[in-house]
């Protein structure tokens, strides 16, 4: 903790060494976070660096009395991912259904490791992947996804249902193979 505190103090002074240390320390976790939303490595790195830039710029606003620094940085980087997703207008045609199944009943990633999760996510369209990641991996509620993604609730549910159906097919194929 003392080491992290020193790094944060250095980051507040705009010290490159400290910034580099913080970047390297959180890089695996935050790269994995961004990978939940993007398949392309360039997008991942763009989202990650945009988020870390916000972290470095606003690090003086961080209050350690309100929570863990990693959670704060994690949230900032995740919001950076969501910002990119919002800016990209989805070209997916959303089909609304009157009755949507309860998407919370089933967690396709419950027993999967990271490699499997990313393998499954790579099979999904970008918007569906983002909603699926937020719902199943980030524990966002549908209302929170609506707020964060700027989607309608039905659209979010559709994406969740779509991800569930696709992942079921993938799981079935993988089991058969």
Q: Please, are residues 78 and 160 in contact by the beta-carbon 8 Å criterion?
A: no
107 is a contact residue toward other proteins (CB under 8 A): no
Task: State which residue, 94 or 123, has the beta carbon closest to other proteins.
Answer: 123
Check the CA dihedral 73-75-76-81 and report its sign: positive
Choose, by CB under 8 A, the member of 23, 37, 120, 158 that binds other proteins.
23
Residue 122, phi then psi, degrees to nearest 5 = -65, -15
DSSP 105: G
Interacting positions 39-78 with other proteins (CB under 8 A):
40-45, 48-49, 52-53, 56-57, 66-67, 70-72, 74-75
Choose, by CB under 8 A, the member of 47, 82, 132, 138 that binds other proteins.
138
Task: Find, among 157, 107, 103, 99, the residue nearest to 128 by Cα.
Answer: 157
Other beta carbons less than 10 A from residue 123's beta carbon: 15
Q: Catalog residues that contact other proteins under the rule CB under 8 A.
A: 14-17, 19-20, 23-29, 31-33, 35, 40-45, 48-49, 52-53, 56-57, 66-67, 70-72, 74-75, 114-115, 118, 137-140, 144
């Amino acid at each position: 903790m003392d080491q992290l505190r020193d790094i944060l103090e250095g980051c507040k002074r705009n010290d490159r060494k400290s910034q580099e240390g913080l970047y390297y320390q959180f890089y695996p976790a935050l790269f994995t976070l961004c990978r939940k939303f993007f398949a392309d490595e360039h997008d991942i790195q763009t989202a990650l660096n945009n988020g870390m830039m916000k972290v470095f710029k606003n690090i003086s606003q961080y209050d350690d009395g309100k929570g863990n620094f990693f959670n704060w940085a994690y949230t900032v980087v995740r919001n950076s991912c969501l910002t990119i997703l919002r800016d990209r207008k989805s070209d997916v045609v959303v089909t609304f259904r009157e009755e949507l199944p309860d998407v919370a009943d089933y967690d396709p990633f419950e027993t999967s490791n990271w490699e499997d999760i990313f393998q499954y996510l790579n099979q999904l369209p970008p918007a569906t992947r983002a909603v699926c990641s937020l719902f199943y991996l980030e524990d966002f509620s549908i209302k929170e996804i609506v707020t964060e993604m700027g989607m309608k609730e039905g659209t979010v549910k559709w994406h969740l249902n779509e991800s569930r159906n696709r992942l079921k097919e993938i799981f079935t194929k993988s089991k058969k193979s």
